[in-house]
């Protein structure tokens, strides 16, 4: 769903680099494929650097053959949470620091889903995966914040349940030059333990409970996105139990774990309030 | 700025490599510093930032990303270059295989250094040798001019449609990288006659990024699919590249006047030699001095410089074996666990298998970790070969079938 | 000759078909086509059926379909391509007026 709407926004003048992830097998076996734009499969840790190379080549071609399509191409990375938060973080950090002209998209299904649901740094606390059979002890890595700390032109978080918001963010990112990062929450029915028809409902609940916050950081300026704005008020947020109960992967979550979840959500929103206050003071 | 006239510059091997990249009009460079290759990336930075070289320079954060960026840039249809050494080459090993599997004409110079632990930054070819089965052509340079010339020849070989494989050009770290000698830098008008043109808008013939011709590379292929055959093709085309390497060396000699044997090997005083020593890299050049000194003393010896380790020049080695009775193959690398010496001697030995030629091949390993190899030492090696030829007596201090020459003994 | 894969979209073959390793290009590249994983409609257990009487043409089903098999037809209503629909049920769940019902595949055989 994420790829469908992202490509609607970006159009055919895109070159996509996909490291090892669900995308590699979803698209079909040789000699057939599905995407109608150039698509390169790449080694696991190499996606960000390969996309940097492609974007440099576009610049080189643009200076050699000016006025053609090369100056308008977007170099895109579509990586999973494993290929971004774990093995790909070196490449991601390097590309962000260089302000490499690429659009890096992380679609986050909160585990290594393609190889059968193993835990990744993006797996939240208490989730059951094949490598954490009694629930993960550690917490979810806050990657959008890490990338924003690199002072890049654009960082955004999205969710597949809000496709129009996703579309607009991609359209905005397309026009910006420099390193852009978009982090999409993508619920996975077999991995998280819920029926496939509830996928959109699950994404919506993640935002409605205040766990997944939709925001943008444009040139250091923090902006809360429309769907998340009303959850600044804690009374409007749905209780996190509702989100955790219907996913089978949180079966083993203890009372202590639940309290930790609630605290984390409260702290995350406090941080956002501070950011917004700072912004108001500046203005 | 272009090179209008031929110039002779007094530069180090590393800087010669940088000049070669500039002469070849490379479009994308991605590099990460590592001793002893640092001056290559520094000189390239100099060229690019001063506007002397219109290339894109990506200053990546690790060697793995160096190769990943080169793969990306090459897929998009540009001429690429980089340099690395020892540990860096090992770190990018996954992507080295990826580049060969994608058949990209990338050229990379390696200022070879010893493998850690323990830390060692001096000349030792184990790093390049460890990548011998990846599918890259491997070439060794023994002089500063040869580094410059090999890079130019490399682009002509690799971008040929029948080859389309990447190439390593290895030379000894600190031995060639940091010492300086006069190097001839060729003018643009001569280079245009020799080098292939830069890839056009359409990119390479087999892979391209073009929104008008969408394609996907690197799908899954089942075992019942053509995976086996695609990999077979890499081997097939590499073996067939020997004739292109020879062709290019001949063409190079015609245009620039410098000869490198037949491209694959370079023989020195082999016509009436009774024993021969095969060397790789700088030691091969030094061996020629040893040959001259021994010939003055009346010994009939010859030396061979092995320029290309991959593809392995099997016909040339067989011809040499027919000329002499004993060959010493000197490896400046280790291949642990092999009873037939380093990588080069193992391949030489297997080249003679089933040919009926009974030339003795003596595996020698020397100079590991940059240990100095003097002319005297090489003359001793020749003398050992001569004793072997006359009496059939193997040297006394062989270890597991190999002569480890120059081992330290503190008295 | 394998070089035809570098030609433009109209000149190159729709699907590459090689008999032996001599015909192969140096690397495997794939061309985009419909149904690259086969006719995934076979994977269905439940089939979504739109009730035109209840449909308000809001387009939510089209928006949320992960595969893009729901397309707008000329009369403004939406049609589902049953050759590729995998039967995930998201369209039925998200329809605000409950105009889509998930019926068992066996009813249609």
Looking at the structure, do residues B271 and B246 belong to the same domain, yes or no?
A: no
* Separation CA A193–CA A167 (nearest Å): 27
Mean pLDDT in residue range B92-96: 94
The CATH number of the domain holding residue B180 is 3.40.50.970
Looking at the structure, do residues B85 and B41 belong to the same domain, yes or no?
A: yes
Domain tally, chain A? 1
Asked if residues C12 and C4 have their Cβ atoms less than 8 Å apart, the reply is yes
In this complex, which of A28, A31, A200 lies closest to C90 when CB atoms are compared?
Answer: A200
Q: Point out the domain boundary residue: B214, B234, B256.
A: B256
- State chain B's mean pLDDT as an integer: 92
Looking at the structure, do residues C55 and C28 belong to the same domain, yes or no?
A: no
Looking at the structure, do residues C97 and C55 belong to the same domain, yes or no?
A: yes
Pairing between β-strand A32-33 and β-strand C29-32 as defined by DSSP bridges: parallel
* pLDDT tens string B35-78: 899 999 999 999 999 999 999 999 999 999 999 999 999 999 99
Looking at the structure, do residues B182 and B130 belong to the same domain, yes or no?
A: yes
pLDDT of C27 higher than 80: yes
- State chain A's mean pLDDT as an integer: 89
Looking at the structure, do residues C49 and C98 belong to the same domain, yes or no?
A: yes
Classify residue B344: in a domain, yes or no: yes
The CATH number of the domain holding residue A263 is 3.40.50.970
Looking at the structure, do residues B278 and B225 belong to the same domain, yes or no?
A: no
Report CB contact under 8 Å: C3, B205: yes
Give bridge partners of residue B16 from the DSSP assignment: none
Looking at the structure, do residues C79 and C97 belong to the same domain, yes or no?
A: yes
Report CB contact under 8 Å: C93, A200: yes
Q: State the pLDDT at residue A190.
A: 87
Q: State the pLDDT at residue B234.
A: 93
Q: State the pLDDT at residue C106.
A: 83
Looking at the structure, do residues C15 and C57 belong to the same domain, yes or no?
A: no
Residues 6 or more apart whose CB falls under 8 angstroms from that of B214 comprise A12, A35, A36, A37, A38, A39, C9, C31, C32
Looking at the structure, do residues B21 and B169 belong to the same domain, yes or no?
A: yes
Q: State the pLDDT at residue B24.
A: 94
Between B167 and A275, the higher pLDDT residue: B167
Mean pLDDT in residue range B81-93: 93
Q: How far is A29 from chain B (nearest CA, A)?
A: 5
Mean pLDDT in residue range B253-281: 93
Looking at the structure, do residues C63 and C97 belong to the same domain, yes or no?
A: yes
Looking at the structure, do residues C46 and C28 belong to the same domain, yes or no?
A: no
Neighbouring CB atoms inside 10 A of A177's CB total: 9
Among chain C residues, the shortest Cα distance to A190 is held by C88
pLDDT of A116 higher than 90: no
Please give the residue range of the domain that contains residue C3: 1-33
Looking at the structure, do residues B22 and B162 belong to the same domain, yes or no?
A: yes
Classify residue B261: in a domain, yes or no: no
Report the range of poorest mean pLDDT among A17-31, A46-60, B141-155.
A17-31
Q: State the pLDDT at residue B219.
A: 84
Domain tally, chain C? 2
Residue percentage of chain B with pLDDT more than 70? 100
Classify residue B38: in a domain, yes or no: yes
| Range 58-87 of B in CB contact (< 8 A) with A | 58-62, 64-78, 80
* pLDDT tens string C41-96: 888 888 999 998 999 988 899 999 988 889 988 888 899 988 888 888 899 999 99
User: Which residues in chain B are contacts of A89 at CB distance < 8 A?
Assistant: none
Mean pLDDT in residue range C1-6: 82
Q: State the pLDDT at residue B77.
A: 93
Classify residue B372: in a domain, yes or no: yes
Classify residue B236: in a domain, yes or no: yes
Report CB contact under 8 Å: B229, C21: yes
Q: State the pLDDT at residue C8.
A: 83
- State chain C's mean pLDDT as an integer: 86
C2 touches chain B (CB under 8 A): yes
Q: State the pLDDT at residue A252.
A: 86
Report CB contact under 8 Å: C63, A163: yes
Please give the residue range of the domain that contains residue B357: 266-404
User: Which residues in chain A are contacts of B61 at CB distance < 8 A?
Assistant: 90-91, 93-94, 97-98
Q: Point out the domain boundary residue: B222, B256, B290.
A: B256
pLDDT band at A257 (very low <50, low <70, confident <90, very high): confident
Please give the residue range of the domain that contains residue A193: 2-282
* pLDDT tens string A2-11: 888 888 888 8
Looking at the structure, do residues C24 and C51 belong to the same domain, yes or no?
A: no
Q: How far is B341 from chain A (nearest CA, A)?
A: 34
Classify residue B34: in a domain, yes or no: yes
Mean pLDDT in residue range A59-86: 90
Asked if residues A22 and A80 have their Cβ atoms less than 8 Å apart, the reply is yes
A64 touches chain C (CB under 8 A): no
Q: State the pLDDT at residue A2.
A: 85
pLDDT of A26 higher than 80: no
Q: State the pLDDT at residue B92.
A: 93
Mean pLDDT in residue range A215-219: 92
Classify residue B1: in a domain, yes or no: no
Q: State the pLDDT at residue B186.
A: 93
Classify residue B410: in a domain, yes or no: no
- ipTM of the predicted structure? 0.90
The CATH number of the domain holding residue B349 is 3.40.50.920
pLDDT of B349 higher than 80: yes
pLDDT band at B359 (very low <50, low <70, confident <90, very high): very high
Looking at the structure, do residues B102 and B206 belong to the same domain, yes or no?
A: yes
The CATH number of the domain holding residue C44 is 3.30.70.20
Domain tally, chain B? 2
Looking at the structure, do residues C27 and C45 belong to the same domain, yes or no?
A: no
Residue with tokens 């980089």: B82
Looking at the structure, do residues C23 and C49 belong to the same domain, yes or no?
A: no
Looking at the structure, do residues B171 and B281 belong to the same domain, yes or no?
A: no
Report CB contact under 8 Å: A91, B65: yes
Looking at the structure, do residues C61 and C103 belong to the same domain, yes or no?
A: yes
Residues 6 or more apart whose CB falls under 8 angstroms from that of A54 comprise A15, A17, A40, A75, A102, B72, B73, B75, B76, B209
Interior CA angle at A122 toward A120 and A124, to 5°?
105
Q: State the pLDDT at residue B1.
A: 58
pLDDT of B94 higher than 90: yes
Looking at the structure, do residues B314 and B166 belong to the same domain, yes or no?
A: no
Residue B117: asked if its preceding bond is cis (omega within 30°), the reply is: yes
User: What SS3 state is found at B13?
Assistant: helix
Looking at the structure, do residues B209 and B305 belong to the same domain, yes or no?
A: no
Looking at the structure, do residues B245 and B270 belong to the same domain, yes or no?
A: no
Looking at the structure, do residues C51 and C99 belong to the same domain, yes or no?
A: yes
Q: How far is CA B178 from CA A101, A245, B38, B307, in A?
A: 35, 66, 10, 21
In this complex, which of C12, C21, C25 lies closest to B206 when CB atoms are compared?
Answer: C25
């Amino acid at each position: 769903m994420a790829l469908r709407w992202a490509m609607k926004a970006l159009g055919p003048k895109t070159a996509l680099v996909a490291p090892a992830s669900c995308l590699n097998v979803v698209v079909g076996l040789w000699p057939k494929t599905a995407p109608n734009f150039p698509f390169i499969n790449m080694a696991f840790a190499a996606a960000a650097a390969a996309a940097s190379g492609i974007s440099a080549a576009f610049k080189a071609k643009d200076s050699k053959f000016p006025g053609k399509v090369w100056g308008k191409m977007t170099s895109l990375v579509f990586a999973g949470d494993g290929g971004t938060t774990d093995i790909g973080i070196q490449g991601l950090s390097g590309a962000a620091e260089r302000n490499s002209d690429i659009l890096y998209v992380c679609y986050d299904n909160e585990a290594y889903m393609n190889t059968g649901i193993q835990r990744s740094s993006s797996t939240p606390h208490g989730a059951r995966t094949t490598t954490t059979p009694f629930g993960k002890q550690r917490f979810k890595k806050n990657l959008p914040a890490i990338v924003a700390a690199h002072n890049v032109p654009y960082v955004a978080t999205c969710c597949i349940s809000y496709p129009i918001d996703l579309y607009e963010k991609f359209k905005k990112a397309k026009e910006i030059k420099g390193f852009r990062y978009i982090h999409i929450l993508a619920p996975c029915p077999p991995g998280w333990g819920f029926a496939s028809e509830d996928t959109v409902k699950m994404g919506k609940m993640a935002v409605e409970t205040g766990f997944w916050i939709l925001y943008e950081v444009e040139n250091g300026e923090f902006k809360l996105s429309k769907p998340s704005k009303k959850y600044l008020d804690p009374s409007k947020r749905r209780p996190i139990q509702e989100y955790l109960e219907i996913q089978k992967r949180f079966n083993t979550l203890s009372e202590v774990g639940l309290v930790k979840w609630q605290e984390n959500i409260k702290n995350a929103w406090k941080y956002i309030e501070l950011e917004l206050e700072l912004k108001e003071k500046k203005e | 700025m272009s090179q209008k006239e031929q110039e002779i510059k007094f530069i180090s091997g590393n800087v010669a490599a940088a000049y070669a990249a500039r002469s070849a009009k490379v479009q994308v460079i991605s590099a990460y510093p590592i001793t002893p290759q640092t001056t290559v990336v520094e000189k390239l930075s100099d060229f690019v930032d001063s506007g002397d070289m219109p290339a894109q320079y990506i200053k990546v954060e690790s060697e793995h990303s160096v190769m990943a960026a080169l793969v990306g840039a090459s897929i998009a249809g540009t001429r690429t270059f980089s340099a690395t050494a020892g540990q860096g080459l090992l770190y990018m090993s996954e992507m080295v295989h990826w580049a060969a599997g994608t058949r990209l004409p990338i050229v990379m110079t390696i200022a070879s250094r010893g493998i850690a632990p323990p830390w060692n930054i001096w000349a030792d070819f184990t790093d390049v040798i460890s990548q011998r089965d990846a599918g890259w052509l491997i070439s060794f340079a023994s002089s500063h001019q040869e580094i410059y010339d090999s890079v130019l020849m490399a682009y002509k070989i690799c971008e040929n449609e029948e080859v389309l494989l990447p190439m390593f050009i290895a030379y000894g770290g600190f031995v060639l990288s940091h010492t300086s000698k006069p190097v001839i830098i060729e003018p643009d008008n001569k280079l245009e006659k020799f080098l292939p043109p830069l890839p056009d808008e359409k990119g390479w013939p087999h892979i391209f990024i073009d929104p008008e011709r969408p394609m996907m590379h690197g799908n899954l292929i089942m075992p019942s699919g053509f995976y086996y055959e695609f990999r077979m093709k890499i081997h097939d085309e590499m073996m067939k590249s020997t004739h292109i390497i020879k062709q290019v060396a001949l063409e190079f000699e015609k245009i620039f006047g410098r000869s490198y044997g037949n491209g694959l090997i370079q023989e020195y005083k082999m016509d009436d030699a009774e024993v021969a020593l095969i060397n790789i890299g700088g030691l091969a050049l030094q061996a020629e001095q040893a040959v001259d000194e021994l010939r003055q003393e009346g010994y009939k010896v010859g030396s061979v410089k092995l320029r290309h380790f991959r593809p392995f020049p099997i016909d040339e080695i067989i011809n040499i074996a027919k000329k002499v009775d004993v060959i010493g193959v000197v490896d400046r690398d280790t291949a642990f666990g092999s009873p037939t010496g380093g990588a080069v001697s193992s391949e030489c030995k297997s080249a003679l298998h089933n040919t009926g030629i009974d030339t003795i091949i003596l595996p020698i390993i020397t100079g590991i970790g940059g240990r100095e190899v003097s002319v005297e030492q090489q003359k001793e090696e020749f003398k050992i070969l001569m004793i072997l030829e006359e009496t059939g007596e193997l040297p006394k201090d062989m270890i597991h079938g190999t002569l480890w020459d120059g081992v330290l003994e503190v008295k | 000759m394998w070089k035809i894969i570098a030609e433009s979209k109209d000149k190159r073959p729709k699907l590459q078909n090689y008999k032996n390793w001599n015909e192969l290009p140096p690397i495997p590249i794939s061309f985009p086509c419909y149904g690259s994983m086969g006719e995934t409609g076979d994977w269905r257990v439940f089939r979504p059926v739109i009730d035109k009487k209840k449909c308000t043409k809001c387009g939510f089903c089209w928006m949320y379909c992960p595969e893009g098999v729901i397309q707008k037809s000329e009369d403004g209503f939406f049609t589902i391509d049953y050759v590729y629909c995998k039967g995930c049920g998201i369209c039925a769940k998200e329809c605000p007026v409950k105009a889509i019902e998930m019926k068992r595949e066996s009813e249609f055989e």
